[in-house]
Amino acid sequence: MQEIVDDELDVQSADETEDERQARLDSAVELDELSMEFVSDLVDKILLLVDEISGHPLHPYQTPFARRVIESVIIGDGETITALFSRQSGKSETVANVVAALMIILPRLAAMYPDLLGKFKEGFWVGAFAPVDEQADNLYGRIVSRLTSDRAVEFLSDPEIGEEVIGRGKELRLKHCGSLVRKTTCHPRAKIEGRTYHLILIDECQGAEEKVVNKSIGPMGASTNATMVFTGTPDYVKGVFYKQIQLNKRAATKRGARQNHFDADYKTVGKYNANYKRFVAKEILRIGADSDEFKLSYRLMWLLDRGMFTTAEKLDELGDKSMQVQHAWMKSPVIVGIDPARKIDSTIVTVIWVGWDYPDQFGRFEHRVLNWLDLTGVDWEEQYFRIVEFLSNYHVFAIGVDAGGVGDTVISRLRVLMPGVEIVPVGADRGAQSKRWRYLMDLMRDGRIGWPAHAKTRALRVWRKFRQQMEDVEIRYEGPNLIVEAPNEVGAHDDFVDSLAIAVSISEEFAVSEVEQSDNFLYAA
Protein backbone atom coordinates (compact mmCIF):
# COMPACT_ATOMS: atom_id res chain seq x y z
CA MET A 1 0.00 0.00 0.00
CA GLN A 2 1.45 3.35 -0.98
CA GLU A 3 2.38 5.68 1.84
CA ILE A 4 2.61 9.29 0.76
CA VAL A 5 3.19 12.61 2.41
CA ASP A 6 0.15 14.71 3.23
CA ASP A 7 -0.41 17.61 0.87
CA GLU A 8 0.07 19.90 3.83
CA LEU A 9 3.51 18.63 4.79
CA ASP A 10 5.17 22.04 4.87
CA VAL A 11 2.33 23.60 6.83
CA GLN A 12 2.07 20.85 9.38
CA SER A 13 5.81 20.52 9.95
CA ALA A 14 5.86 23.95 11.55
CA ASP A 15 3.23 22.82 14.00
CA GLU A 16 5.09 19.87 15.48
CA THR A 17 8.45 18.67 16.73
CA GLU A 18 10.79 16.77 14.43
CA ASP A 19 10.00 13.49 16.21
CA GLU A 20 6.26 14.12 15.85
CA ARG A 21 6.67 15.02 12.19
CA GLN A 22 8.59 11.81 11.50
CA ALA A 23 6.02 9.77 13.44
CA ARG A 24 3.23 11.28 11.34
CA LEU A 25 5.04 10.49 8.11
CA ASP A 26 5.78 6.93 9.24
CA SER A 27 2.14 6.32 10.17
CA ALA A 28 0.48 8.09 7.24
CA VAL A 29 -1.58 5.96 4.90
CA GLU A 30 -3.10 7.38 1.75
CA LEU A 31 -4.39 5.49 -1.24
CA ASP A 32 -4.10 6.31 -4.90
CA GLU A 33 -7.29 7.11 -6.78
CA LEU A 34 -7.84 3.53 -7.99
CA SER A 35 -7.31 2.07 -4.52
CA MET A 36 -9.58 4.65 -2.92
CA GLU A 37 -12.35 3.66 -5.29
CA PHE A 38 -11.78 -0.03 -4.58
CA VAL A 39 -11.75 0.43 -0.81
CA SER A 40 -14.88 2.59 -0.93
CA ASP A 41 -16.69 -0.06 -2.95
CA LEU A 42 -15.52 -2.80 -0.58
CA VAL A 43 -16.73 -0.84 2.45
CA ASP A 44 -20.14 -0.42 0.78
CA LYS A 45 -20.41 -4.17 0.28
CA ILE A 46 -19.42 -4.92 3.89
CA LEU A 47 -22.03 -2.43 5.09
CA LEU A 48 -24.62 -4.44 3.17
CA LEU A 49 -23.42 -7.52 5.03
CA VAL A 50 -23.74 -5.64 8.32
CA ASP A 51 -27.38 -4.89 7.52
CA GLU A 52 -27.99 -8.45 6.37
CA ILE A 53 -26.64 -10.01 9.56
CA SER A 54 -28.37 -7.55 11.90
CA GLY A 55 -31.69 -7.66 10.09
CA HIS A 56 -32.14 -3.90 10.00
CA PRO A 57 -30.24 -1.06 8.33
CA LEU A 58 -28.07 1.31 10.28
CA HIS A 59 -29.51 4.74 11.00
CA PRO A 60 -27.96 7.71 9.15
CA TYR A 61 -26.08 8.83 12.27
CA GLN A 62 -24.62 5.34 12.74
CA THR A 63 -23.50 4.74 9.17
CA PRO A 64 -20.56 7.22 8.98
CA PHE A 65 -19.14 5.79 12.22
CA ALA A 66 -19.51 2.19 10.99
CA ARG A 67 -18.04 3.09 7.60
CA ARG A 68 -14.98 4.71 9.15
CA VAL A 69 -14.29 1.72 11.43
CA ILE A 70 -14.48 -0.67 8.47
CA GLU A 71 -12.29 1.58 6.32
CA SER A 72 -9.66 1.92 9.04
CA VAL A 73 -9.44 -1.84 9.49
CA ILE A 74 -9.18 -2.45 5.75
CA ILE A 75 -6.50 0.11 4.95
CA GLY A 76 -4.67 -0.51 8.23
CA ASP A 77 -4.17 3.13 9.22
CA GLY A 78 -4.05 2.23 12.93
CA GLU A 79 -6.25 5.16 13.91
CA THR A 80 -8.15 5.60 17.17
CA ILE A 81 -11.79 6.35 16.40
CA THR A 82 -14.10 7.93 18.97
CA ALA A 83 -17.89 7.83 19.17
CA LEU A 84 -19.77 10.02 21.66
CA PHE A 85 -23.40 8.92 21.43
CA SER A 86 -26.27 9.57 23.83
CA ARG A 87 -27.43 6.74 26.07
CA GLN A 88 -29.26 3.84 24.41
CA SER A 89 -28.70 5.32 20.95
CA GLY A 90 -27.18 2.16 19.49
CA LYS A 91 -23.45 2.83 19.64
CA SER A 92 -22.62 -0.61 21.12
CA GLU A 93 -25.06 -2.26 18.73
CA THR A 94 -23.37 -0.56 15.79
CA VAL A 95 -19.98 -1.79 16.93
CA ALA A 96 -21.31 -5.32 17.49
CA ASN A 97 -22.84 -5.50 14.01
CA VAL A 98 -19.66 -4.25 12.35
CA VAL A 99 -17.45 -6.64 14.32
CA ALA A 100 -19.63 -9.64 13.48
CA ALA A 101 -19.50 -8.85 9.75
CA LEU A 102 -15.74 -8.30 9.75
CA MET A 103 -15.05 -11.52 11.67
CA ILE A 104 -16.90 -13.46 8.99
CA ILE A 105 -15.81 -11.76 5.81
CA LEU A 106 -12.21 -10.52 6.25
CA PRO A 107 -10.48 -13.94 6.44
CA ARG A 108 -12.30 -14.97 3.28
CA LEU A 109 -11.34 -11.81 1.45
CA ALA A 110 -7.72 -12.21 2.58
CA ALA A 111 -7.12 -14.95 0.01
CA MET A 112 -8.62 -12.82 -2.77
CA TYR A 113 -6.73 -9.62 -1.90
CA PRO A 114 -3.52 -10.71 -0.15
CA ASP A 115 -1.73 -7.37 -0.53
CA LEU A 116 -4.51 -5.41 1.16
CA LEU A 117 -6.04 -7.97 3.52
CA GLY A 118 -3.43 -10.71 3.82
CA LYS A 119 -2.92 -10.08 7.54
CA PHE A 120 -6.40 -11.52 8.18
CA LYS A 121 -5.74 -14.86 6.52
CA GLU A 122 -5.62 -16.58 9.93
CA GLY A 123 -8.58 -14.70 11.28
CA PHE A 124 -9.75 -11.27 12.44
CA TRP A 125 -8.96 -10.82 16.14
CA VAL A 126 -10.94 -8.44 18.33
CA GLY A 127 -10.42 -7.37 21.94
CA ALA A 128 -13.52 -6.06 23.74
CA PHE A 129 -12.63 -3.98 26.81
CA ALA A 130 -14.55 -1.94 29.38
CA PRO A 131 -13.73 -0.48 32.80
CA VAL A 132 -15.59 -3.20 34.74
CA ASP A 133 -16.75 -6.76 34.02
CA GLU A 134 -20.42 -5.88 33.72
CA GLN A 135 -19.72 -3.26 31.05
CA ALA A 136 -17.39 -5.62 29.18
CA ASP A 137 -20.14 -8.24 29.31
CA ASN A 138 -22.54 -5.82 27.64
CA LEU A 139 -20.37 -5.19 24.58
CA TYR A 140 -19.14 -8.78 24.32
CA GLY A 141 -22.68 -10.09 24.82
CA ARG A 142 -23.97 -8.02 21.94
CA ILE A 143 -21.30 -9.39 19.61
CA VAL A 144 -22.06 -12.96 20.72
CA SER A 145 -25.78 -12.36 20.31
CA ARG A 146 -25.26 -11.06 16.79
CA LEU A 147 -23.11 -14.03 15.73
CA THR A 148 -25.46 -16.60 17.26
CA SER A 149 -28.72 -15.07 16.06
CA ASP A 150 -30.95 -17.05 13.71
CA ARG A 151 -30.03 -14.76 10.81
CA ALA A 152 -26.30 -15.17 11.46
CA VAL A 153 -26.53 -18.94 11.90
CA GLU A 154 -28.43 -19.22 8.62
CA PHE A 155 -25.83 -17.06 6.91
CA LEU A 156 -22.89 -18.99 8.36
CA SER A 157 -24.38 -22.32 7.33
CA ASP A 158 -24.44 -21.28 3.68
CA PRO A 159 -22.17 -23.68 1.72
CA GLU A 160 -20.07 -20.77 0.46
CA ILE A 161 -19.36 -19.75 4.08
CA GLY A 162 -19.51 -23.02 5.99
CA GLU A 163 -18.67 -21.57 9.39
CA GLU A 164 -19.38 -22.56 13.00
CA VAL A 165 -19.42 -20.48 16.18
CA ILE A 166 -17.56 -21.83 19.21
CA GLY A 167 -18.08 -20.05 22.53
CA ARG A 168 -15.91 -20.68 25.54
CA GLY A 169 -15.90 -18.46 28.64
CA LYS A 170 -14.62 -15.04 27.72
CA GLU A 171 -13.86 -15.93 24.12
CA LEU A 172 -15.89 -16.65 20.99
CA ARG A 173 -14.28 -18.11 17.88
CA LEU A 174 -15.27 -18.89 14.33
CA LYS A 175 -14.06 -22.45 13.96
CA HIS A 176 -12.76 -22.53 10.39
CA CYS A 177 -11.46 -19.03 9.64
CA GLY A 178 -9.80 -18.33 13.00
CA SER A 179 -11.57 -15.08 13.85
CA LEU A 180 -12.15 -14.41 17.53
CA VAL A 181 -13.46 -11.86 19.98
CA ARG A 182 -12.31 -11.83 23.61
CA LYS A 183 -13.70 -9.76 26.49
CA THR A 184 -11.47 -8.26 29.18
CA THR A 185 -11.91 -5.65 31.87
CA CYS A 186 -9.52 -2.72 31.80
CA HIS A 187 -9.80 -2.08 35.52
CA PRO A 188 -6.44 -0.96 37.01
CA ARG A 189 -6.31 -4.02 39.28
CA ALA A 190 -7.09 -6.50 36.51
CA LYS A 191 -4.34 -8.66 35.06
CA ILE A 192 -4.51 -8.04 31.33
CA GLU A 193 -2.88 -10.71 29.23
CA GLY A 194 -0.53 -9.77 26.40
CA ARG A 195 -2.82 -10.75 23.53
CA THR A 196 -2.64 -9.53 19.93
CA TYR A 197 -5.60 -7.89 18.18
CA HIS A 198 -6.49 -6.30 14.85
CA LEU A 199 -9.29 -4.27 16.44
CA ILE A 200 -9.39 -3.00 20.03
CA LEU A 201 -12.73 -1.84 21.43
CA ILE A 202 -13.13 0.11 24.67
CA ASP A 203 -16.75 0.66 25.65
CA GLU A 204 -17.82 3.16 28.34
CA CYS A 205 -14.39 4.63 27.73
CA GLN A 206 -15.11 7.69 29.87
CA GLY A 207 -14.45 5.45 32.87
CA ALA A 208 -11.27 3.83 31.57
CA GLU A 209 -7.95 4.51 33.25
CA GLU A 210 -5.62 6.39 30.91
CA LYS A 211 -2.53 4.58 32.13
CA VAL A 212 -4.13 1.15 31.60
CA VAL A 213 -5.28 2.06 28.09
CA ASN A 214 -1.92 3.49 27.03
CA LYS A 215 0.41 1.09 28.79
CA SER A 216 -1.46 -2.24 28.79
CA ILE A 217 -4.12 -2.21 26.08
CA GLY A 218 -2.62 -0.12 23.29
CA PRO A 219 0.48 -2.33 22.86
CA MET A 220 -1.80 -5.30 22.08
CA GLY A 221 -2.25 -3.77 18.64
CA ALA A 222 1.38 -2.87 18.00
CA SER A 223 2.35 -5.80 15.76
CA THR A 224 -0.83 -5.46 13.68
CA ASN A 225 -1.14 -1.65 13.66
CA ALA A 226 -4.59 -2.19 15.11
CA THR A 227 -7.52 0.16 14.88
CA MET A 228 -8.84 1.28 18.26
CA VAL A 229 -12.46 2.30 18.86
CA PHE A 230 -13.44 4.29 21.96
CA THR A 231 -17.16 4.61 22.69
CA GLY A 232 -18.96 6.23 25.59
CA THR A 233 -20.70 9.29 27.02
CA PRO A 234 -19.40 12.45 28.77
CA ASP A 235 -18.25 12.58 32.38
CA TYR A 236 -17.34 15.09 35.08
CA VAL A 237 -13.61 14.74 34.54
CA LYS A 238 -11.17 14.54 31.67
CA GLY A 239 -9.66 11.19 30.85
CA VAL A 240 -8.31 9.18 27.95
CA PHE A 241 -11.69 9.32 26.15
CA TYR A 242 -12.03 13.10 26.39
CA LYS A 243 -8.41 13.66 25.36
CA GLN A 244 -8.71 11.36 22.33
CA ILE A 245 -11.90 13.12 21.23
CA GLN A 246 -10.14 16.47 21.38
CA LEU A 247 -7.14 15.03 19.54
CA ASN A 248 -9.41 13.71 16.80
CA LYS A 249 -11.21 17.03 16.51
CA ARG A 250 -7.93 18.90 16.17
CA ALA A 251 -6.70 16.48 13.51
CA ALA A 252 -9.94 17.01 11.57
CA THR A 253 -9.02 20.68 11.07
CA LYS A 254 -6.21 19.67 8.72
CA ARG A 255 -6.92 19.56 5.02
CA GLY A 256 -7.64 16.10 3.67
CA ALA A 257 -7.84 14.50 7.12
CA ARG A 258 -10.21 11.59 7.64
CA GLN A 259 -12.94 12.04 10.22
CA ASN A 260 -12.16 10.04 13.35
CA HIS A 261 -14.71 11.45 15.79
CA PHE A 262 -18.45 10.94 15.62
CA ASP A 263 -21.23 12.09 17.91
CA ALA A 264 -25.02 11.96 18.08
CA ASP A 265 -27.05 13.64 20.80
CA TYR A 266 -30.65 12.87 21.78
CA LYS A 267 -32.08 15.24 19.16
CA THR A 268 -30.22 13.49 16.34
CA VAL A 269 -31.24 10.03 17.56
CA GLY A 270 -34.85 11.13 18.06
CA LYS A 271 -35.16 12.01 14.37
CA TYR A 272 -34.94 8.32 13.51
CA ASN A 273 -36.57 6.67 16.51
CA ALA A 274 -39.98 7.93 17.61
CA ASN A 275 -39.99 5.82 20.79
CA TYR A 276 -36.60 7.21 21.79
CA LYS A 277 -37.82 10.75 21.20
CA ARG A 278 -40.89 10.19 23.40
CA PHE A 279 -38.85 8.57 26.18
CA VAL A 280 -36.33 11.40 26.28
CA ALA A 281 -39.17 13.95 26.31
CA LYS A 282 -40.50 12.27 29.47
CA GLU A 283 -37.00 12.35 30.97
CA ILE A 284 -36.87 16.09 30.36
CA LEU A 285 -40.08 16.45 32.36
CA ARG A 286 -38.90 14.05 35.06
CA ILE A 287 -35.31 15.15 35.74
CA GLY A 288 -35.01 18.37 33.70
CA ALA A 289 -32.96 19.18 30.60
CA ASP A 290 -30.52 21.18 32.74
CA SER A 291 -29.87 18.43 35.25
CA ASP A 292 -26.41 16.92 35.36
CA GLU A 293 -27.83 13.50 34.56
CA PHE A 294 -29.58 14.69 31.42
CA LYS A 295 -26.61 16.75 30.22
CA LEU A 296 -24.27 13.79 30.59
CA SER A 297 -26.55 11.09 29.20
CA TYR A 298 -28.37 12.87 26.39
CA ARG A 299 -26.96 16.32 25.63
CA LEU A 300 -23.35 15.08 25.40
CA MET A 301 -22.06 17.83 27.68
CA TRP A 302 -18.83 17.29 29.59
CA LEU A 303 -19.38 18.70 33.08
CA LEU A 304 -15.75 19.44 33.72
CA ASP A 305 -14.43 21.33 36.71
CA ARG A 306 -13.99 25.08 36.64
CA GLY A 307 -10.68 24.67 34.87
CA MET A 308 -12.08 25.22 31.35
CA PHE A 309 -12.10 28.67 29.75
CA THR A 310 -15.50 28.21 28.13
CA THR A 311 -17.95 25.55 26.99
CA ALA A 312 -19.14 24.30 23.62
CA GLU A 313 -22.63 25.47 24.55
CA LYS A 314 -21.42 29.03 25.14
CA LEU A 315 -19.45 29.00 21.90
CA ASP A 316 -22.58 27.92 20.03
CA GLU A 317 -24.51 30.74 21.69
CA LEU A 318 -21.98 33.40 20.65
CA GLY A 319 -21.62 32.15 17.08
CA ASP A 320 -23.77 34.12 14.60
CA LYS A 321 -25.18 31.61 12.13
CA SER A 322 -26.35 34.37 9.79
CA MET A 323 -22.85 35.83 9.48
CA GLN A 324 -20.05 34.82 7.14
CA VAL A 325 -16.43 35.95 7.32
CA GLN A 326 -15.97 39.47 5.98
CA HIS A 327 -13.06 39.57 3.56
CA ALA A 328 -13.16 43.36 3.46
CA TRP A 329 -14.59 46.12 5.70
CA MET A 330 -14.18 49.84 5.12
CA LYS A 331 -17.40 51.13 6.70
CA SER A 332 -15.92 51.76 10.14
CA PRO A 333 -12.58 51.40 11.95
CA VAL A 334 -11.67 47.89 13.06
CA ILE A 335 -9.14 46.62 15.57
CA VAL A 336 -6.68 43.81 15.04
CA GLY A 337 -4.91 41.38 17.34
CA ILE A 338 -1.69 39.62 16.31
CA ASP A 339 -0.20 36.74 18.26
CA PRO A 340 3.27 36.23 16.69
CA ALA A 341 4.50 32.69 16.22
CA ARG A 342 6.88 31.15 18.67
CA LYS A 343 8.84 27.97 18.04
CA ILE A 344 5.94 25.59 17.32
CA ASP A 345 2.98 27.96 17.28
CA SER A 346 1.25 29.88 14.52
CA THR A 347 1.01 33.59 13.83
CA ILE A 348 -2.68 34.43 13.98
CA VAL A 349 -4.27 37.73 12.95
CA THR A 350 -7.82 38.47 14.15
CA VAL A 351 -9.85 41.37 12.74
CA ILE A 352 -12.71 42.68 14.91
CA TRP A 353 -15.52 45.14 14.24
CA VAL A 354 -16.34 47.33 17.23
CA GLY A 355 -19.60 49.18 17.90
CA TRP A 356 -17.76 52.36 18.87
CA ASP A 357 -20.91 54.51 18.93
CA TYR A 358 -22.80 52.35 21.41
CA PRO A 359 -20.89 51.58 24.62
CA ASP A 360 -22.87 49.96 27.42
CA GLN A 361 -23.18 51.42 30.93
CA PHE A 362 -19.73 50.08 31.79
CA GLY A 363 -18.10 51.55 28.69
CA ARG A 364 -17.78 48.22 26.91
CA PHE A 365 -18.43 47.96 23.20
CA GLU A 366 -20.08 45.33 21.05
CA HIS A 367 -17.50 43.18 19.21
CA ARG A 368 -17.74 40.94 16.17
CA VAL A 369 -14.91 38.92 14.67
CA LEU A 370 -14.79 39.65 10.95
CA ASN A 371 -12.01 37.34 9.80
CA TRP A 372 -8.84 35.47 10.73
CA LEU A 373 -5.50 35.03 9.00
CA ASP A 374 -3.58 31.85 9.84
CA LEU A 375 0.11 32.01 8.95
CA THR A 376 1.13 28.59 10.16
CA GLY A 377 4.49 27.56 8.75
CA VAL A 378 5.02 30.76 6.75
CA ASP A 379 8.54 32.26 6.84
CA TRP A 380 8.70 35.41 8.94
CA GLU A 381 9.88 37.65 6.09
CA GLU A 382 6.87 36.59 4.08
CA GLN A 383 4.54 36.92 7.05
CA TYR A 384 5.02 40.70 7.25
CA PHE A 385 3.88 41.24 3.69
CA ARG A 386 1.04 38.71 4.00
CA ILE A 387 -0.24 40.60 7.06
CA VAL A 388 -0.06 43.96 5.28
CA GLU A 389 -1.82 42.59 2.20
CA PHE A 390 -4.53 40.97 4.33
CA LEU A 391 -5.18 44.11 6.38
CA SER A 392 -5.27 46.37 3.32
CA ASN A 393 -8.86 45.21 2.88
CA TYR A 394 -9.93 46.73 6.20
CA HIS A 395 -10.19 50.21 7.69
CA VAL A 396 -7.71 49.47 10.46
CA PHE A 397 -7.65 51.81 13.47
CA ALA A 398 -5.15 50.00 15.68
CA ILE A 399 -3.21 46.74 15.82
CA GLY A 400 -2.32 45.05 19.09
CA VAL A 401 0.78 42.85 19.06
CA ASP A 402 1.99 40.56 21.83
CA ALA A 403 5.23 42.23 22.87
CA GLY A 404 6.76 39.00 24.20
CA GLY A 405 9.23 36.85 22.26
CA VAL A 406 9.63 38.22 18.72
CA GLY A 407 6.87 40.75 19.32
CA ASP A 408 9.22 43.76 19.46
CA THR A 409 10.60 42.93 16.04
CA VAL A 410 7.11 42.48 14.60
CA ILE A 411 6.02 45.82 16.04
CA SER A 412 9.03 47.62 14.53
CA ARG A 413 8.50 46.11 11.07
CA LEU A 414 4.77 46.83 11.01
CA ARG A 415 5.32 50.44 12.03
CA VAL A 416 7.51 50.81 8.94
CA LEU A 417 5.16 48.92 6.62
CA MET A 418 1.93 50.48 7.97
CA PRO A 419 2.84 54.05 8.95
CA GLY A 420 -0.76 55.25 9.07
CA VAL A 421 -1.89 52.70 11.64
CA GLU A 422 -1.33 52.75 15.38
CA ILE A 423 0.66 49.67 16.43
CA VAL A 424 0.07 48.95 20.12
CA PRO A 425 2.52 46.78 22.11
CA VAL A 426 0.44 44.52 24.35
CA GLY A 427 2.11 43.47 27.60
CA ALA A 428 3.36 39.90 27.89
CA ASP A 429 3.73 39.89 31.68
CA ARG A 430 1.30 37.87 33.80
CA GLY A 431 -0.56 40.92 35.03
CA ALA A 432 -1.23 42.26 31.53
CA GLN A 433 -2.26 38.84 30.25
CA SER A 434 -4.61 38.32 33.19
CA LYS A 435 -6.27 41.68 32.57
CA ARG A 436 -7.08 40.97 28.93
CA TRP A 437 -8.25 37.42 29.64
CA ARG A 438 -10.67 38.70 32.27
CA TYR A 439 -11.95 41.35 29.87
CA LEU A 440 -12.54 38.75 27.14
CA MET A 441 -14.34 36.50 29.62
CA ASP A 442 -16.55 39.43 30.68
CA LEU A 443 -17.45 40.15 27.04
CA MET A 444 -18.28 36.49 26.43
CA ARG A 445 -20.31 36.20 29.62
CA ASP A 446 -22.41 39.25 28.73
CA GLY A 447 -22.77 38.37 25.05
CA ARG A 448 -20.83 41.46 23.93
CA ILE A 449 -18.69 39.50 21.47
CA GLY A 450 -19.46 37.08 18.67
CA TRP A 451 -18.09 35.59 15.47
CA PRO A 452 -19.32 34.28 12.12
CA ALA A 453 -20.89 30.81 12.28
CA HIS A 454 -22.71 30.53 8.96
CA ALA A 455 -22.74 27.02 7.51
CA LYS A 456 -20.26 28.05 4.83
CA THR A 457 -17.99 29.58 7.46
CA ARG A 458 -18.11 26.51 9.69
CA ALA A 459 -16.72 24.51 6.77
CA LEU A 460 -13.57 26.64 6.70
CA ARG A 461 -10.44 25.17 8.25
CA VAL A 462 -9.57 28.49 9.90
CA TRP A 463 -12.96 28.54 11.65
CA ARG A 464 -12.59 24.94 12.81
CA LYS A 465 -9.16 25.70 14.28
CA PHE A 466 -10.53 28.77 16.05
CA ARG A 467 -13.43 26.80 17.49
CA GLN A 468 -11.25 23.88 18.55
CA GLN A 469 -8.73 26.08 20.32
CA MET A 470 -11.51 27.94 22.13
CA GLU A 471 -12.77 24.59 23.40
CA ASP A 472 -9.30 23.38 24.33
CA VAL A 473 -7.88 26.18 26.43
CA GLU A 474 -7.85 25.88 30.19
CA ILE A 475 -7.57 28.39 33.03
CA ARG A 476 -5.42 28.38 36.12
CA TYR A 477 -4.32 30.93 38.69
CA GLU A 478 -0.91 32.21 39.66
CA GLY A 479 -1.61 34.28 42.75
CA PRO A 480 -4.07 36.99 41.68
CA ASN A 481 -3.41 36.42 37.97
CA LEU A 482 -5.63 34.41 35.66
CA ILE A 483 -3.71 32.35 33.10
CA VAL A 484 -5.35 30.94 29.98
CA GLU A 485 -3.38 28.43 27.95
CA ALA A 486 -3.62 25.27 25.86
CA PRO A 487 -3.40 21.93 27.68
CA ASN A 488 -0.11 20.09 27.53
CA GLU A 489 -1.34 17.69 24.86
CA VAL A 490 -0.32 16.83 21.31
CA GLY A 491 -1.72 19.29 18.79
CA ALA A 492 -3.24 21.65 21.39
CA HIS A 493 -2.60 25.35 20.80
CA ASP A 494 -3.99 28.69 21.96
CA ASP A 495 -2.88 31.10 19.22
CA PHE A 496 -6.39 31.97 18.00
CA VAL A 497 -7.53 32.63 21.55
CA ASP A 498 -4.48 34.78 22.34
CA SER A 499 -5.03 36.81 19.17
CA LEU A 500 -8.67 37.39 20.10
CA ALA A 501 -7.77 38.53 23.64
CA ILE A 502 -5.09 40.86 22.30
CA ALA A 503 -7.55 42.46 19.90
CA VAL A 504 -10.27 43.13 22.47
CA SER A 505 -7.70 44.51 24.90
CA ILE A 506 -7.31 47.48 22.54
CA SER A 507 -10.99 48.36 22.80
CA GLU A 508 -10.74 48.08 26.59
CA GLU A 509 -8.05 50.77 26.56
CA PHE A 510 -10.44 53.14 24.82
CA ALA A 511 -13.55 52.18 26.77
CA VAL A 512 -12.99 54.62 29.64
CA SER A 513 -12.10 57.59 27.48
CA GLU A 514 -14.99 56.75 25.20
CA VAL A 515 -17.66 57.06 27.91
CA GLU A 516 -16.08 60.20 29.34
CA GLN A 517 -16.89 62.20 26.22
CA SER A 518 -20.00 62.64 24.16
CA ASP A 519 -18.29 62.76 20.78
CA ASN A 520 -16.72 59.72 19.14
CA PHE A 521 -13.15 60.76 18.33
CA LEU A 522 -12.82 57.91 15.84
CA TYR A 523 -15.12 59.74 13.45
CA ALA A 524 -13.87 63.26 14.09
CA ALA A 525 -12.70 64.98 10.96
The pLDDT, as a whole number, for residue 475 is: 87
Average pLDDT of the segment spanning 359-377:
90
- 379-392 per-position pLDDT tens digit: 888 999 999 999 99
| Distance (Å, whole) CA 391 – CA 417 | 11
Of 52, 74, 67, the residue nearest 161 (C-alpha): 52
Q: Looking at mean pLDDT, say which of 186-195, 397-406, 470-479, 496-505 comes out highest.
A: 496-505
The pLDDT, as a whole number, for residue 359 is: 83
Distance from chain centroid for Cα 125: 28
The pLDDT, as a whole number, for residue 143 is: 95
Say what percent of the chain tops pLDDT 90: 66
The pLDDT, as a whole number, for residue 424 is: 94
- Average confidence score pLDDT of the chain: 88
- 421-458 per-position pLDDT tens digit: 999 999 888 999 999 999 999 999 999 999 999 999 99
The pLDDT, as a whole number, for residue 343 is: 61
Radius of gyration of the chain (CA): 26
Q: Which of 22-26, 221-225, 290-294, 353-357 has the lowest mean pLDDT?
A: 22-26
Q: Which of 186-190, 251-255, 264-268, 327-331 has the lowest mean pLDDT?
A: 186-190
The β-bridge partners of 349 are 338, 373
The pLDDT, as a whole number, for residue 193 is: 67
pLDDT tier, 43 (very low <50, low <70, confident <90, very high otherwise): very high
Of 69, 20, 62, 77, the residue nearest 46 (C-alpha): 69
Q: Which residues neighbour 405 within 8 Å (Cβ) at sequence distance 6 or greater?
A: 340, 342, 428
CATH code linked to domain 31-285: 3.40.50.300
- 342-365 per-position pLDDT tens digit: 765 689 999 999 998 888 887 788
Q: Which helix or strand (DSSP H or E) is residue 46 part of?
A: helix 33-54
The pLDDT, as a whole number, for residue 445 is: 92
pTM of the model: 0.69
DSSP SS3 for 391: helix
| Distance (Å, whole) CA 166 – CA 182 | 12
The pLDDT, as a whole number, for residue 20 is: 64
Residue ranges of domains in the chain: 31-285, 313-523
Residue type, 453: A
List the beta strands (DSSP E) in 393-518. 394-402, 422-426, 449-452, 474-478, 481-485
The pLDDT, as a whole number, for residue 25 is: 64
Q: Which of 135-149, 202-216, 309-323, 475-489 has the lowest mean pLDDT?
A: 475-489
Higher model confidence: residue 118 or residue 28? 118
The pLDDT, as a whole number, for residue 182 is: 95
Higher model confidence: residue 189 or residue 176? 176
Higher model confidence: residue 17 or residue 102? 102
Q: Do domains 31-285 and 313-523 have the same CATH topology?
A: no
The pLDDT, as a whole number, for residue 278 is: 97
Model confidence at 304: pLDDT above 60: yes
Model confidence at 254: pLDDT above 70: yes
Model confidence at 7: pLDDT above 50: no
Higher model confidence: residue 30 or residue 347? 347
- 80-90 per-position pLDDT tens digit: 999 999 999 99
pLDDT tier, 3 (very low <50, low <70, confident <90, very high otherwise): very low
Model confidence at 517: pLDDT above 50: no
The pLDDT, as a whole number, for residue 491 is: 77
Q: Which of 308-312, 463-467, 511-515 has the lowest mean pLDDT?
A: 511-515
| Count of alpha carbons within 13 angstroms of residue 467, beta-carbon side | 24
CB 417 within 8 A of CB 487: no
Average pLDDT of the segment spanning 264-288:
96
Model confidence at 302: pLDDT above 70: yes
What's domain 313-523's architecture?
Answer: 2-Layer Sandwich (3.30)
DSSP SS3 for 326: coil
Of 485, 460, 466, the residue nearest 475 (C-alpha): 485
pLDDT tier, 492 (very low <50, low <70, confident <90, very high otherwise): confident
Model confidence at 160: pLDDT above 90: no
Model confidence at 174: pLDDT above 70: yes
Torsion of CA 286, 288, 293, 296, to 10 degrees: 130
Model confidence at 13: pLDDT above 60: no
Average pLDDT of the segment spanning 161-170:
89
The pLDDT, as a whole number, for residue 509 is: 74
Model confidence at 124: pLDDT above 50: yes
Model confidence at 306: pLDDT above 70: no
